[in-house]
Amino acid sequence: MTAPCYAKIDTTSTRSVVTSKKFHPEFSFPDADVILRSFEGTLYRIHSYTLRTTSGLFNTMFNLPQPVKSKAGRDSGNRDYEPEEIPIYESDFVLERLLRLLCSIPVPSWESYDDVDRVLTAAEKWDTPGPIATIRATLTRPQFLTSDPLRLYVLAKHFDWREEAKLAATQTLKLNLHDPIHASTLARLSSKDLLPLLNLHRKRRDMFKKLIDSPERFAAGNSRCGVTQLDNHTWREFKNAMFAEIDRRPLGDTLGVAVGHSANWPEAKACWEAKCSKEGCGGLNYDRIATLRQIRNCIEILPSTIED
């Protein structure tokens, strides 16, 4: 685990200013023996047993030799004794959320990935597997899974959450990873974790091209009307447009549709309106319904997530 920035603990005597302290109402247990101070100065009075049993960091810290003065005061039985404050360089939001998770106190709804990220970072510093597992379960809700799957993929890879990484990878198929808007998020991935995602997107694109170029699947694109060679340039242009679209959006949900999206493309309209140029024929070159169905079949057999 990453070494916490507050590993070097400094303490402040609180006995003389106890009346002016600002304790968090949820964390002001009178018999608790540890006081944590947030970056804003809010105090959290909590039992050392709770911290020791839920956090690897505090378990290690409390097992270190304690100052004689601090130990004597704690063991004296003096009711006026106040524990020394331990400064925690985290905001009230992060510290409160993390302590709620540690103490099994209900946690308010998460509003954004930024909030989750901040608390996860602190939970990792403190070496607290319980809160990390709780947050992990939260991230598979639609609110997070579909809103920013690339960010979920980054978190899943960082913590080696394999199932979540696969779910997130599938959801990224609606994104164009080459869009500059995703550059900062992708930069957080190691090459080892980035390559499987890029390979998934590329594999879907290349496999789709191979399928729509297949004369076995799309015979009309290579068929003949009697002895007359069909002019298939409209089909080729439509295929090029579909290839560009699946490169931009590998999910492919905009392709093979009868209404909206690709159905409105000029290339699609030209393809469905193309007719045999042979005198006396004038039949449509392509069966629109059958062709759209085959396009959808091609999309359905494409790989949908990263490999283990």
**Which pLDDT does position 76 carry in this prediction?**
52
Q: What is the mean pLDDT of residues 222-226?
A: 52
The reply to whether 165 falls in a domain is no
**Which pLDDT does position 187 carry in this prediction?**
97
Decide: helix, strand or coil at residue 168.
Answer: helix
Burial of 117 (0-12, 13-18, 19+ CB in 10 A): middle
Model confidence pTM above 0.85: no
Question: Closest Cα partner for 36 from 47, 290, 250, 258?
Answer: 47
Which residue would you say has higher pLDDT here, 192 or 1? Answer: 192
Point out the domain boundary residue: 109, 125, 159: 109
Residue 295 structure tokens: 């396009």
CATH number of the domain where residue 25 is located: 3.30.710
Decide: helix, strand or coil at residue 36.
Answer: strand
Residue 38 structure tokens: 């947030």
205 and 178 Cβ atoms separated by less than 8 Å: no
The reply to whether 221 falls in a domain is yes
Supply the mean pLDDT for the chain.
Answer: 87
Point out the domain boundary residue: 71, 92, 109: 109
Q: What is the mean pLDDT of residues 257-262?
A: 90
Neighbouring-strand partners of residue 229: 224
**Which pLDDT does position 70 carry in this prediction?**
55
Q: What is the mean pLDDT of residues 263-279?
A: 88
307 and 195 Cβ atoms separated by less than 8 Å: no
- The amino acid at residue 151 is R
pLDDT band at 41 (very low <50, low <70, confident <90, very high): very high
Quick check: 236 pLDDT over 70?
yes
Question: Closest Cα partner for 37 from 4, 69, 83, 104?
Answer: 83
Stretch among 8-17, 32-41, 50-59, 278-287 having the lowest mean pLDDT: 8-17
**Which pLDDT does position 15 carry in this prediction?**
41
pLDDT band at 284 (very low <50, low <70, confident <90, very high): confident
What range does the domain containing 289 cover? 201-300
Q: What is the pLDDT of residues 66-118, one digit of tens each?
A: 766 555 455 555 555 678 889 999 999 999 999 999 999 999 999 899 999 99
Query: How many domains does the chain divide into?
Result: 2
**Which pLDDT does position 55 carry in this prediction?**
97
Point out the domain boundary residue: 52, 81, 109: 109
User: Could you tell me which residues come within 8 angstroms of residue 144 by beta carbon, excluding any fewer than 6 positions away?
Assistant: 110, 113, 116, 138, 152
DSSP count for the chain of H helices, then E strands: 14, 6
The reply to whether 265 falls in a domain is yes
Decide: helix, strand or coil at residue 29.
Answer: coil
**Which pLDDT does position 17 carry in this prediction?**
41
Which residue would you say has higher pLDDT here, 277 or 287? Answer: 287
Quick check: 3 pLDDT over 80?
no
The reply to whether 155 falls in a domain is no
